[in-house]
Structure 1
Amino acid sequence: MGRGLFGVDFGGGLWAVSVSSGSSFTCAVLGDGSVKCWGRNEEGQLGVGSDVVGLGAKVDEVGEGLPDVDLGGEGGAVGVSAGFTHVCAVTCEHFVKCWGENLYGQLGLGDFLARGDGVYGMGGALPFVDVGGDGGVISVSCGERHTCAVVSDGSVRCWGGNGGGQLGAGDGVGRGGAGGGMGDGLPRVEFGFGNFPAAVELSGVDGRDGVRLVGGASGEGAGRSVGGAGDVNGDGVGDVIFGVPGADGVGGVEAGAAYVVHGRGNAKAFAVSAGGQHSCAVLFSGLVKCWGDDAHGQLGVGGKLRSDVGVIVVDLGEGALVYGGPGVSAVSAGSSFSCAVLYDGRVKCWGRNVEGQLGFDSVTPSVGVQVGEMGDELPAVNLGGGVRVSLLSCGFSHVCAVTSSLGVKCWGDNSYGQLGAGDVIGRGGRSEGMGDGLPFVDVGGGVLSVSCGRFHSCAVLEDQSVKCWGYNEFGGLGLGDSEHRGDGAGEMGENLPAIDFGVGRGVRSVSAGQYHSCAVLDDMSIKCWGQNGRGQLGVGDLLNR
């Protein structure tokens, strides 16, 4: 590796600002706002206006030979998201352009025609995606068959395939294809109307949604009005008081009661994560809402009545639904499960659990479908005493979390040592493997960030080095061999080499794809390693590295 691990040559001295790894291809936003993609191109996802099978496998396909994605106009892109076989970029004017496969209308162009494959044009001929709304696009996330965008008005709008309800439109109808449905006709994902929910179960008010004020004696009949209560809980949103004179209070029968119901906070999203066939968003109020396929409970319905394709408030229990309180800071939609980081540093996961990726003692293959599985009944992942999480990454069937002490703990599937525990024993499905018994991943230093691929994990350390562990058949660990790491004793810690990016080079960020990974270095160059059968490493050949 090192000087044998080639940087991706973008030509003209250009450097990378960000990188996104798709299934068998990679895209990067460069310092001048241009976008370049390399790897598999059978669906036109490289956006080069050619039906070439791939780029990056030959010397003349890198550097000046690697074309820019022609987005037309001036200013370039500020962000890019690589999905399974399509790509979307946010321009500096906060518009969106998409290219690649379009069988489900995931490009949002009013048809099912692929773009970028040479048949239909790029550049000025590639239309902007009309997402509607009152503002520009802040960010975009590409799933397998659908795309979601966060708009500056706080709305989330999704288009493409909708067989699992992943567009959050309240039906199973796809948008963005020949049936239209874009622009002002593209429904926003409805996170709630006004400042209050559509229905309040007063008997269930327990301090999260409001408080109950009870009468002191039988027949007192306290509470005979409905009116504004001001901002009782101090979250900046007005509350309402409901008088219930016939309620039984602590003082006896029909002592009366009054319910102060807290107004909902800002029903706008600041982040969205598109999974395989479902999506989740974090709202400014601290709520998590999910929509789409729920075959494994990944929406966290918990037995509530709903339409098959509705938007669900994920009930994460006490401390996670307090308006103006802790709430949720981040969410990750995996293939068939979801995880959220609460502001108090706890983690809760729901959905598929066959491999123990939910991180708590249960033999149930999925959690979040039945009554009594969500809310306070959904356990937090037991990471041990005093452990608080700052961020996490969900792989295909495992999760790694960075703690406030800059440590890493991983749980779920461990078939190839991707948990970094020195064995192939999965964690998360049995209590004895969690808590203080779940070891920190020993990488020989503090960790700033982590990224989970299909069966491997990579971490950026405090010294700006990168270490990877788990599956390595295609060289995805960047160590110059095909031996898995983390699946046997003595392979982690100081015995796990850092990836050699060359003398004096540090890393800003890393993105783990299916079987390959890419890193943005401190000089803003990009280097990639792992499987290269489609040229996804962008180094001018098809050799794995």
Structure 2
Amino acid sequence: MRAFVGVLLVTMVLMSACGAGDDGASPADAAAIDAAAVDAVPLDGAPADAEPLPEVTAPMLALGFSFSCLLHPTGRVKCWGDNSSGQLGLGDTAARGDAPGELGGALPWIDLGTGRHAIAIAGGLNHVCAILDDHRLKCWGSNGHGELGLGDTAARGDQPGEMGDALPAVDLGAGRTALAVAAGEFSTCALLDDHSVKCWGANDQGQLGQGDTVQRGDDPGELGDALAPVDVGSLHVADLGVGYYFACVTSDEGDVRCWGSNSEGQLGQGTTQRRGDDPGEMGAALVATTFGAGRFVARLGVGRFHSCAILDGDGALKCFGAGTSGQLGQGDLQSRGDQPGEMGDALPVVDLGVGRTARGLAFTQSDVCALLDDDEVKCWGNDFYGQAGQGHRSRIGDGPGEMGDALQPVPLPVGRAVRQVAGGGEHMCALFEDGGVRCWGFNDRGQLGQGDTETRGDDPGEVAATADVALY
């Protein structure tokens, strides 16, 4: 199964990230034990010599607009940053990480239910979803459009007593469980165990793929067997991603289909016409997103109004959709994919440097970061808050000569291999193979996990001087 990076990015758009980790593991494999990933840590309050919890899953990051979450190898989850909708899952709306003393042992693990742990997580604008070890799906945080899939519009996690066993699982249908999940601004999609896809929440752009603009999940009786799977024709879906009012899936063979908002060509269909908001647009009528003769997608990531694909075989990177901040990495401000003849072989490869290829992707609202084959991270796009990690606030990728070898990598610690890079609204985080997490960019709500609200990455030397997030 080829991997697919579903990078959330919603008003940013989150990614989800969701989808596979940057080590190449597929979502269906996410529950596999990865003993080399991160040392297990004892429960909060346990003595130093206590028996550590076993490692039961691969670690991963999931970022929302102004918050960040880590899935630990023990299957436990911690989130920090903005908590205005209860997205940190702590039974209140107090931000964490914006003042000293709020992280480390003071930051609780999220209660997922008695005996339960997570195997995958995804962050939306202000909500989070976790696939549990029994492959049920639980979501919490904002719910104004039914994005939690609970048949109402009440937020969860913002009041005491709403998490743990009290938090219902999303009804995916009789006998159905989740393999992967992706969260957008106000919608959520899940890849089910039969490889069908179901989406719920906001639908004003057809992002639920139902041939209408009726939102689902905000009233009783709209989920479960009452919610029809998205019709993607004969495609055998391997994974999915949700962006700002649009969604994409990829097949086992690397074929891509996208639907929903298409104002900037982010569906890669050579038009700006929405798909999925009217009858007859899905299924066999859904136009394939193509990347060139004989080219298939190994990983696809979705941003706010732009998307990128790592191609199978050589790790080449192609980006399409909005280019108004240089986020397509082509040395101009042109959008691509919104006009005929711009996709396929006509879509240029992003220059990452001589001999360099991409193995992971992350997005903010108008930026892209690529995790390269040599474990370095390169970022380009808007960079208004230093989210490209270059020590300034100037756009990158919007003018000639700014990409390739001229683009310097983010100054992360030498000798620490990067496992995953993830993006939020205007911030980025890197997960190292040793279990550490380092974040840079905008920090208005403590999403960088530094115990303050100081932005980092917009002045020289700040990323290199930034400490890892204190998680334990």
Relative to the length of structure 1, the TM-score reads: 0.63
Counterpart for residue 146 of structure 1: 127
Alpha-carbon distance in structure 2 between the residues aligned to 1:304 and 1:478? 39
Higher strand share: 1
Which of 292, 307, 310 does residue 399 from structure 1 map onto?
A: 307
**For 2:129 and 2:258, how far apart are their aligned partners in 1?**
22
Q: Which residue type is aligned with residue 385 of structure 1? A: A
Counterpart amino acid of residue 153 in structure 2: G
The residue that corresponds to 2:295 in the other structure is 387
Q: Which residue of 1 aligns with 2:337?
A: 428
Are the structure 2 counterparts of residues 538 and 189 from structure 1 closer, same or farther at C-alpha, using a change threshold of 3 Å? closer
Matched, 1:377 2:285: yes
SS at the partner of 2:341? helix
Q: Report deviation, 1:100.
A: 5.7
Over 3 Å counting, the alpha-carbon distance change for 1:367 and 1:462 in structure 2 is: same
**TM-superposition CA deviations, 1:87-144 (whole Å, max 9, x none):** 5555666455666655434454556566778999999998765544884332333333
CA distances 1:145-188 after superposition (whole Å, capped 9, x unpaired): 32222111111022333220111123334444559565555332
Distance in 1 (alpha carbons) for counterparts of 2:410 and 2:103: 37
Q: Tell me which residue corresponds to 1:273.
A: 182
The equivalent of 2:16 in structure 1 is none
CA distance in 2, matches of 1:508, 1:122: 22
1:224-252 deviation per Cα after TM superposition (whole angstroms, max 9, x unaligned): xxxxxxxxxxxxxxxxxxxxxxxxxxxxx
Structure 2 residue matching 1:431: 3-state secondary structure: coil
1:193 alignment partner, one of 159, 174, 177 = 174
Structure 1 residue aligned with 2:266? 357
Q: Greater CA radius of gyration, 1 or 2?
A: 1
- Report matched runs for 1:137-536 at 5 Å: 137-178=118-159, 182-194=163-175, 267-303=176-212, 307=216, 309=218, 310-311=222-223, 312-320=227-235, 327-364=236-273, 366-405=274-313, 406-444=315-353, 445-499=356-410, 501=412, 507-520=418-431, 530=441, 536=448
Q: Secondary structure at the match of 2:345?
A: helix
Q: Matches of 1:121 and 1:455 in 2, distance apart?
A: 30
Measure how far apart 1:538 and its partner are. 5.3
SS of the residue 2:289 aligns to: coil
CA spacing shift, 1:169–1:134, aligned 2, 3 Å = farther
| Cα distance, 1:133–1:285 mapped onto 2, change above 3 Å | farther
Counterpart AA for 1:290: C
The one-letter code of the counterpart of 1:142 is G
Deviation at 1:355, TM superposition (A): 1.5
Q: How far off its partner does 1:471 sit?
A: 2.2
One-letter code aligned to 1:409: K
The answer to whether residue 459 in structure 2 is matched with residue 544 in structure 1 is yes
SS of the residue 1:369 aligns to:
coil
C-alpha contact 2:66 2:445 (8 A) present in aligned 1: no
Aligned to 2:463: none
1-structure distance, mates of 2:341, 2:76: 50
Cα 1:483/1:384, change in 2 over 3 Å: same
Aligned to 2:15: none
Distance, in Å, in 1 between the alignment partners of 2:380 and 2:413 is 20
Amino acid aligned to 2:247: S
- The CA RMSD over aligned residues, in Å, is 4.1
Alpha-carbon distance change, 129 to 504 in structure 1, aligned in 2, over 3 angstroms: closer
Equivalent residue of 1:432, what SS? coil
Q: Distance in 2 between matches of 1:112 and 1:534?
A: 12
Whole-Å separation in 2 of the counterparts to 1:109 and 1:512 = 22
Q: Label 1:111 to 1:351 Cα distance change in 2 as closer, same or farther (>3 A).
A: same
1:57 corresponding residue in structure 2 = none
SS at 1:376's partner residue?
helix
Which structure ranks higher in relative contact order (CA pairs < 8 Å, sequence separation ≥ 6)?
A: 2
Kindly indicate whether the alpha-carbon contact (under 8 Å) linking 2:80 and 2:449 is maintained by their aligned counterparts in 1.
no
Partner of 2:22: none
Q: How much identity, in percent, do the aligned residues show?
A: 39
Q: Distance in 2 between matches of 1:119 and 1:491?
A: 38
Contact in 2 for aligned 1:410/1:419 (Cα 8 Å): yes
Are the aligned partners of 2:259 and 2:275 in contact in 1 as well (CA < 8 Å)? yes
What's the offset of the Cα at 1:339?
1.6
Q: 1:529 to 1:72 in 2, by over 3 A?
A: same
